[in-house]
């Protein structure tokens, strides 16, 4: 995962094979983010539902 900060905004690039929800939740917790708005471009190979986060 690559992260760039622009003021109070973060731009995140996930690498192939990274688990999207797990990595984003990890980042949000690390940055102590209480609210987020997500927009994305790209594709996913598969999507599964999990309530672990």
pLDDT tens digits, 1-53 = 999 999 999 999 999 989 898 999 999 999 999 999 999 888 888 777 766 65
* Residue carrying the six token digits 């594709």: 43
pLDDT of residue 50: 65
Max intra-chain CA distance, the chain: 33
pLDDT of residue 30: 96
pLDDT of residue 51: 63
11, 19 contact by CB (below 8 A): no
pLDDT of residue 10: 94
What is the sign of the dihedral through the CA atoms of 15, 9, 43 and 46?
positive
Q: How far apart are CA 45 and CA 41, in angstroms?
A: 13
pLDDT of residue 44: 80
């Amino acid at each position: 995962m690559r992260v760039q900060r622009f003021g109070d905004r973060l731009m995140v690039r996930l690498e192939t094979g990274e688990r999207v929800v797990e990595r984003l939740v990890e980042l949000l917790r690390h940055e102590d983010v209480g609210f987020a708005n997500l927009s994305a471009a790209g594709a996913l190979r598969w999507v599964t539902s999990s309530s672990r986060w």
